[in-house]
Amino acid sequence: MDKFRALVSEELSIIDDDLDSIIEQDDCIFSDLRSFLSGNSKRIRSVICLLYLKSQGINVTKKITDLLVAVELIHNASLLHDDFVDSSDLRRGVPTLFKKYGSKLSVLSGDYILSLAVKRLIMLENNGILNLFSDTVKKMSEAEITQYFSRNNEISFEKYLKIISGKTSALFSSCIKSAAVLSGIDSERAFRFGENFGILFQINNDFDSISAENDRFNGVKTAVNIIGIEKTLALKDNYKEELRQILAEIPNNAYKKGIEDLIELL
């Protein structure tokens, strides 16, 4: 990821600094929350959004970095909730807040981080974007609930696709669409790009050894379990081709090349 982050390092530094300072309190659990937000995160949602914008010559404004801070906060809030639901001991190589403080504070911390995201979204002064993210959090929650009640059960591929579209792809698509709205470029094409990238990202993540082990432990079925390895690899290729077609209208440049290279790694 380092070479992709390097292409948008200036903008990522702004986002990282903002996340590092957004929690002002130092007592109780707050210092651990600050460390959690500043931890070893790939910031993949911010990276792919920034690459997409810069590939089209967009100047990244403060409103866009504020948007991406909100996106990172929503993602991290969902991780805190996931750690509670999955009773996870480790996250990014360190003990989870669930492990350290228990279920009540893990959930409350996720809610707190989500409240910071809402505040940042309100600062954008765009009701359309605020409504979009309200619907996105709803979809993420619905997908996680559906997945929870599907544990240790056989599910259809259509249900699996609906789950990952909600829990992962929805945040990617809303992030990139909102950035496109703020930048004055085609928001529907941006939405399709984010949607397809998010699904590809999750299918690829299901192959990760740690994620796969966690899924097996929790009885979560993935594409490999449902349609097999060969069909899953073919499915990934289909999403990659869809993304290439969306990118075809963008002139060649270093940022577009970065996106294409990142897609090939998935």
CA distance 179 to 97: 31
CA-nearest of 263, 210, 259 to 236 is 263
Residue 185 phi, psi dihedral angles, 5° rounding: -110, 175
- Tell me, what's the pLDDT at 27? 85
Q: What is the pLDDT of residues 190-219, one digit of tens each?
A: 999 999 999 999 999 998 878 888 899 999
CA-nearest of 101, 96, 60, 104 to 80 is 96
CA distance 188 to 169: 15
What are the CA-CA distances from residue 2 to residues 6, 65, 93, 169, 195 (Å)?
Answer: 6, 19, 19, 23, 23
- Tell me, what's the pLDDT at 39? 80
- Which stretches in the chain have pLDDT values below 70? none
- Tell me, what's the pLDDT at 209? 76
- Tell me, what's the pLDDT at 8? 98
Structural domains counted in the chain: 1
Sign of torsion over alpha carbons 228, 234, 239, 242: negative
- Which helix (H) or strand (E) covers residue 189, if one does? helix 187-207
Letter for the amino acid at 70? A
Residue 69 phi, psi dihedral angles, 5° rounding: -60, -45
Residue carrying the six token digits 């959690």: 36
Q: Are 242 and 263 in contact (CB under 8 A)?
A: no
- Tell me, what's the pLDDT at 26? 84
Give the SS3 label for residue 94: strand
Q: What is the pLDDT of residues 69-105, one digit of tens each?
A: 999 999 999 999 999 998 899 888 889 999 999 999 9
- Tell me, what's the pLDDT at 99? 93
- Tell me, what's the pLDDT at 210? 82
Residue carrying the six token digits 């992030």: 175
CA-nearest of 176, 182, 229 to 203 is 229
Query: Domain residues for 202?
Result: 2-265
**What CATH number does residue 26 fall under?**
1.10.600.10
Give 199's strand partners.
none
